């Protein structure tokens, strides 16, 4: 999902402001959605892509488990990406990993249109999109023990201390993710905010069903995650970027 953009974040930043229950219960009180509402204008090219490619590549939200084989026309490893922003990283990873199927969840229409435009331009067939709140997608469309991987890149850091409770990566949300992973499936997070990286490491390390692939620290950036132009600019300015890769036991 999309966050209110800041100079320190790239086009893949996805606000994921979320507090969810475990894999079976939905929070009934003080529910927080996985995105921050943000106005955005759909460009002519994005609108054209929505009209041309949406019917094939956009999967309507439905309160029932998604039939991945039917949606993709094949059986392949399944990766969920939460909040793909403008879709550049999603398209690049999908292009490099054509044996895997990627379901991207994004609420903001300009980003959906931008990814569909890339899908059409590059002839990608292993991406599908759900334009809906990621928490509800996880709870209702993703079956238990069905995912091979989850990607969450540069979620909204909610950098003010009083807003940290709004961050996406919280224990209950991680428990929900874990319930949707197959044994051996992975969660890959990335952030350019050190305080959030520390929180991510603490939360994921405390989940008994997860194992840190990097021992007790952060992981090297996997080759499949490209460095965006904004990330590269930040690195040149001395900003840090932290990747975390955990696997379900």
The model's pTM: 0.85
Binding residues for substrate: 160, 192, 228-231
Residues 6+ apart with CB under 8 A from 104: 81, 84, 87, 90, 115, 127, 128, 129, 130
Structural domains of the chain in order of their starting residue, each with its CATH number: 44-248 (3.40.50.150)
Residue 229's pLDDT is 84
Is 66 in contact with 58 (CB distance < 8 Å)? no
**Distance from first CA to last CA of the chain, Å, rounded?**
27
What does the alpha-carbon distance between residue 144 and residue 178 come to, in Å, rounded to a whole number? Answer: 9
pLDDT at 36: 52
Residues in the annotated binding site: 81, 106, 133, 156, 160, 192, 228-231
pLDDT at 159: 87
Rg of the chain over Cα atoms, rounded to whole angstroms, equals 17
Ramachandran sector of residue 244 (left: φ over 0; alpha: ψ -120 to 50; beta: rest)? beta
- 118 near 143, Cβ under 8 Å? no
Task: Tell me the pLDDT of the chain (249 aa) as tens digits.
Answer: 334 333 344 444 443 333 333 344 443 344 545 555 555 799 999 999 999 999 999 999 999 999 999 999 999 999 999 999 999 999 999 999 999 999 999 999 999 999 999 999 999 999 999 999 999 999 999 999 999 999 999 999 998 999 999 999 999 999 999 999 999 999 999 999 999 999 999 999 999 999 999 999 999 999 999 998 889 888 888 999 999 999 999
Q: Please provide the DSSP assignment of 21-61 as one string.
A: --SS----SS-B-SS-----PPPHHHHHHHHHHHHHHBPPP
**pLDDT given at position 108:** 94
Strands 210-212 and 242-248: antiparallel
Strand order across the 127-130 sheet: 127-130, 101-105, 78-82, 147-153, 181-191, 242-248, 210-212
- Cα angle for residues 99, 61, 41 (degrees, 5° grid): 90
Strands 181-191 and 147-153: parallel
Query: Which residues belong to the active site?
Result: 156
**Positive or negative torsion for Cα 120, 38, 78, 57:** negative
């Amino acid at each position: 999902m999309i966050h209110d953009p800041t100079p320190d974040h790239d086009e893949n930043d996805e606000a994921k402001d979320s507090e969810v229950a475990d894999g079976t219960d939905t929070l009934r009180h003080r529910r927080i959605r996985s995105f921050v509402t943000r106005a955005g204008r759909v460009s002519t090219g994005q609108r054209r892509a929505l009209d041309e490619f949406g019917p094939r590549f956009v999967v309507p939200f439905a309160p029932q488990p998604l039939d991945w084989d039917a949606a993709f026309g094949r059986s392949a490893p399944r990766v969920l990406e939460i909040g793909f922003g403008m879709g550049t990283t999603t398209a690049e990873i999908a292009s490099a990993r054509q044996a895997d199927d990627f379901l991207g969840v994004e609420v903001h229409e300009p980003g959906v249109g931008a990814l569909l435009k890339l899908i059409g331009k590059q002839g990608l067939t292993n991406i599908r999109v759900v334009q809906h709140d990621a928490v509800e997608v996880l709870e209702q469309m993703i079956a238990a023990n069905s995912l091979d991987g989850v990607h969450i890149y540069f979620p909204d850091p909610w950098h003010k201390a009083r807003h940290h409770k709004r961050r996406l990566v919280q224990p209950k949300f991680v428990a929900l993710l874990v319930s949707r992973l197959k044994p051996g499936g992975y969660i890959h997070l990335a952030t350019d905010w050190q305080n959030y990286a520390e929180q991510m490491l603490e939360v994921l390390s405390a989940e008994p069903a997860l194992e840190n692939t990097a021992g007790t620290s952060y992981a090297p950036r996997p080759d499949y995650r490209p460095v965006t132009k904004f990330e590269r600019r930040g690195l040149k300015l001395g900003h840090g970027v932290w990747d975390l890769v955990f696997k379900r036991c």
